[in-house]
Amino acid sequence: MQESQHEAQTLASLRDFFIAQDGAELEAAVGRLPEDLKSAVPAVPDWDAAEFDFNRFFVGPRILAAPPYASVYLSPEPQVMGEAALEARRIYAALGLQSPFDARLPDDHLSLELDALRIMQGGLSHTPSEPLKELRDCFVHEHLNVWVPLFARRVRMVAPEHTIIRFMADAVERCVESVAESKGRF
Amino acid sequence: MEKERKSMNSSLLSEMSRRSFVKLLTAGGAAAMLHGGLLTPKAFAGPAKTAGGCKAFHSACQRNCYDTCAMLSYVDDGVLKYVEGDKQSTFTNGGLCVKGYSYPRRVYSPDRIKYPMKQIGRGTGNWKRISWEEAIDSICDKILSIKKEDGHLLGLALDKNSGSEGITNCAVIQGLFTGLGYTTRFEGSNCWPAGYDAQYFDFGDMVCNDPEDLANAGYIILWGVNPAWTSIHTMKFIYAAKERGAKVVCIDPVLTQTAAKCDEYLAPKMGTDGALALGMARHILDLGLADRGWVADNALGFPEFEQYLREKVTVQWAAEETGIPAETIARIAEEFAKAKPATAWIGYGLQRHTNGGRAVRSIDALVAMTGNVGKKGGGARYGQEFTWDFEYWPKSKMSPPAGSIGFVNPAKQKPGEPTVYSNRSLNRNQAAREMRKADPKIRMLWVSCSNPMSQYPNRNEMEKMYRGLDMLVVVDQFFTQTAELADIVLPTTTQFEEWQVNVSYWHYWLAINEQCIEPLFEAKPNTVISALVSKRMNELSPGSCTYQQDLTPKECMIRNFNDTIHKLNGISSWEDLLKGPVKAKRNPVSWAEGKFKTPSGKYEFLSAKAAEYGHPALPEYHSRRPNHDKFVILTPHTKFGLHSQFINLDWMRDFNPEPCVYINPNSARSKNIVSGDMVRVYNKFGEVAVKAQVTDNVPEDTLLMYEAWFKNDKFNVQNVLDDAVADMGAYQFGGHRGPAIQEQFANVEKM
Ligand code: SF4
């Protein structure tokens, strides 16, 4: 599989995972991982139970173990809809894109950001553009790759019952890191 | 590390903001990337910043606080940036309390409940996200099945309390429940029923002078109230009076921050405030300082009160009862009677006792006999509700569906006459006891604007009762100890995400609350949630709910205005409030005309109404209930929260990170406890594990823990509170007496 396709598929799968609404959607998202990653996925005996764990970490209604919003990690005081969410909104606007959730879901939700990254990478793989590359680099280096490792560390620290949660958090960290390291590609 | 991070390269971002890559992306073949993704194309409209910076909106704090602050909320790019007090209100005068300033932290807290959720197994913590449709379907199915199985809806109960005091929140959920049929309601008040009834017996109504008029007082007694924490805006009027030469005395068993700022501080033994007031009254009589002219013209029963004082009360007796030296009682009494005008602010602490209503009647009598009622700078101040004459739409206008069967009150049902159905009303101050004996059984409970698990006594019993329900629905912004037990939680909006209108039970201001941001996540206002239930009920069973199905929250708010509100506030329409808050056009001095609303039309030292409700006609003293354990426990309001709200926010946690029990050094020594020790406070009802703080701010016989709900912390003072009720409250609160929550007992030991 081409490197860019592999990356796009990984980003899409991670995006769908972190915004999933139930166990079936979690399972489907994992099923869309590229084969090499999928083969490493830990067994999930009960997707309902994984869903409970997922909600404990990322959805609620209890206090989230690891909120999937950039501004929780990047604001001087953790909050949603902080400056980082507005930065993400401006990045999307620059791309000519917007969140379909308007202001109801903070723009810096992990899944929205992964989608933006996937689109930028896709654009660059087809049409090299210095300004777009600059924007992508800024987004990855100054934003995604700053908070996603903090997020993944939080997931590891709180130790989910279901290893799939940790696996996907690690995967998202690795994926963002690898885009960051591949500066120059595209 | 997180704090050191700078924003993304801002010059690059602003450069990029002027470009759009969408054409490039689509031309380059990335269009396929958009398909099936989350982000969608947008007509490029440039940066979405509000031109000229933040836009200000009118807001109001609705957390059930004396101050009910008129606020301004500043929004930029659709995001609430900061809030401040509205200077147009002379009460708020541009300031908020520390809680108020933290509002953006509340709106944007990562801890908010975000989506409708269903718990698989009550209390398991296993939650599934569900759609609003699924949530409403489950709720409506359950209501219909109760109706089918029981033939009525008395098994469906509502506990809507005062966590969100917007006028529509005061009306919509009850409106929905009436629209469903006759149901069970938890009613009564955890706050003020005993004192409220007392004022009704004495004055025929509960009305206070404008708190801004405190500045005109020559002598102020702050009696069982701690405004330095709970009504900070009133403090400036107290200071203004002080600057003009007034003396301020604080009476409280605890050396509060208010007490520390007063000229004199008296600490009576718990539950003896009535004896103190009566001892003062006797001394005033003895000195011939009673205002006989005023009582002759305006009062009923003063001779009987005088006789009672002469026969049963002495200053020495009051000194023994209260623990305050007789000379002090005599001196304060004399100062109070001679200072013109003098006033007492009666707090909600001293009436939360088994003799609390009587204590308030005694203080009222002290103020009245000195001729300070109906005077500028005077008055026995407790609260007011005359600014609350809204429509309470739709609560007031709803009827149950035709053919609904309800509760038959044997006291009201006349033999041979058609059956009269009503809702069944249970006292929330004895909720566990009432649920246990309820027949028919309560099967489903809806909780909104409330956190009963952290607010109601006898928590362990409460939990058993909640666990026995078929279904518990909790509507809230945060995952409280009540939400932990829910089957379904529904996320609701903060005041910034909905329209509201607010008044205070203390000051005379009226303020509108504009919606200034979109609701976060999937939160919905109570107006919308109620309409969704009604719509689905009617889809599933036509005619099963008479509640509105399609009205916006703003229209609902507008419908609550009426001519009384317009006239009182000097406005012609609700829209006038968009210019700023307004103050009721009413004499700031209550009872100035000397016309009282009692049966006699006079101030009643001797109240036949009180006797009708089983109390002495005179404000006679009655001792509090005997201790059933070693220490008295006090559970007053904290500075950092309003009941169980705010305490969970990060800014509050910076100041108030964990619960404590405050214990006097002598008691601590006897129990081998030092500050920082984890201790167990326990009694026959339950226990709490908590850190000890040794302080001589609390008396030797007392343990103090602030009521609270800390996130991720099991601490709950309600574990050690029983459901004893105050003497009064039944008159104005549908038979439901107030709580005696400041008259509780427990022991303590080091863990
Ligand atoms: S909690 Fe009270 S004092 Fe504080 S902002 Fe709200 S109304 Fe004002």
Alpha helix ranges (H) inside B541-629: 553-558, 563-569, 608-612
Residue A160: its pLDDT value, please? 78
- Given a cut of 70, whether residue A156 has pLDDT beyond it is yes
Distance from CA of B432 to the nearest CA of A (A): 25
pTM attached to this predicted model: 0.96
Least confident range from A60-74, A122-136, B27-41, B289-303: namely B27-41
Question: Residue B716's closest CA among B656, B661, B652?
Answer: B661
Return the number of other C-beta atoms located less than 10 Å from residue B361's C-beta. Answer: 33
Averaged confidence pLDDT in chain A: 93
Q: What is the pLDDT of residue B1?
A: 39
> Does B79 sit within 8 Å of A103, measured CB to CB?
yes
**Contact status, residue B589 vs residue B374, Cβ threshold 8 Å:** yes
Each residue of B255-265: b (16+ CB within 10 Å) or e? bbebbebbeeb
Is A44's pLDDT higher than 80?
yes
pLDDT at B411: 83
Query: DSSP assignment of B157-215, as one string?
Result: EEEE-SSS--TTTTTHHHHHHHHH-S-EEEES-SSSHHHHHHHHHHHSS-----GGGGG
pLDDT tens digits, one per residue of B66-116: 999 999 999 998 999 999 999 999 999 999 999 999 999 999 999 999 999
List pLDDT tens digits, range A81-104: 999 999 999 999 988 899 999 889
The C-alpha atoms of residue B584 and residue B387 are separated, in whole angstroms, by 7
Cα end-to-end distance, chain B, whole Å: 38
B25:A119 CB<8 A: yes
pLDDT confidence of residue A2? 76
Nearest residue in B to A9, CA atom: B33
| Ligand 1 midpoint to CA B61 (Å) | 6
Question: Which residues of chain B does A106 touch, with a Cβ-Cβ cutoff of 8 Å?
Answer: 520
pLDDT tens digit string along B573-627?
A: 999 999 999 999 999 999 999 999 999 999 999 999 999 999 999 999 999 999 9
B194 φ, ψ (degrees, to nearest 5): -65, -45
> What's the rounded Cα separation, in Å, for the pair A159 and A153?
10
What gap in Å lies between CA B335 and CA B402, rounded to an integer? 63
pLDDT in tens, B198-229: 999 999 999 999 999 999 999 999 999 999 99
Return the C-alpha torsion angle B462, B468, B471, B473, nearest 10. 10
pLDDT tens digits, one per residue of B133-171: 999 999 999 999 999 999 999 999 999 999 999 999 988
Determine the Cα–Cα distance for residues B600 and B299; give it in Å rounded to an integer: 9
* Cβ-defined contact of A123 to B19 (cutoff 8 Å): no
Extract the runs of DSSP E, i.e. beta strands, from B261-388: 264-266, 299-300, 342-346, 379-381
A149 pLDDT above the threshold of 90: yes
Nearest chain B Cα distance for residue A77, angstroms: 8
Q: Are B61 and B89 in contact (CB under 8 A)?
A: no
B604, B201 contact by CB (below 8 A): yes
Residue B18, SS3 per DSSP: coil
**Ligand 1 center from residue B376 Cα (angstroms):** 26
Which candidate from A22, A69, A82 shows the least CB-CB separation from B128?
A22
Contact between residue B234 and residue B217 where contact means Cβ atoms under 8 Å apart: no
In angstroms, the CA B678 to CA B689 distance is 7
**Ligand 1 mean position to B62 CA, how many Å?**
8
Q: Do A56 and B489 touch (CB under 8 A)?
A: no
Residue A70: per-residue pLDDT: 98
CB atoms within 10 A of CB B18: 10
Which ligand 1 atom is at minimum distance from the Cα of B103? 5
DSSP category for residue B67 = T
SS3 at position A98: strand
Give B-chain residues touching A110 at CB under 8 angstroms: none
Between CA B720 and CA B746 the distance in angstroms is 7
Judged by CB atoms closer than 8 Å, whether chains meet at A90 and B17 is answered as yes
ipTM of the complex: 0.96
Distance B327 CA to ligand 1 centre (A): 39
Chain B neighbors of A72, CB-CB under 8 A: 110
To 5 degrees, how large is the angle CA A12–CA A13–CA A19?
A: 90
Per DSSP, the three-state class of B268 is coil
Ligand 1 within 6 A of B504 CB? no
**What CA–CA distance (Å, rounded) separates B467 from B456?**
16
Query: Three-class SS of residue B68?
Result: coil
Give the residue carrying structure tokens 């885009």: A179
E-strand ranges in B408-503 read 424-427, 444-448, 471-476, 488-491, 500-503
pLDDT of residue A162: 82
Q: How far apart are CA B218 and CA B742, in angstroms?
A: 30
Q: Tell me the shortest Cα–Cα distance from B72 to chain A, in angstroms.
A: 20
Cα nearest neighbour of B105 on chain A: A79
Residue ranges in chain B modelled with pLDDT below 50: 1-4
How do B509-513 and B247-251 pair as beta strands?
unpaired
Task: Report the candidate in B385, B388, B389, B392 with the shortest Cα–Cα distance to residue B172.
Answer: B392
Closest ligand 1 atom to B642 CA: 1
Q: Which amino acid is at B245?
A: G
Q: At what angle do helices A163-181 and A145-158 cross, to 10 degrees?
A: 160
Query: Are the C-beta atoms of B711 and A65 separated by less than 8 Å?
Result: no
Residue B218 belongs to what H/E stretch?
none
Testing ligand 1's pocket by substitution, the residue of B62, B66, B68, B69 carrying the most ligand atoms inside 8 A of its CB is B69
Q: What is the CA radius of gyration of chain B?
A: 27
Average pLDDT, chain B: 94
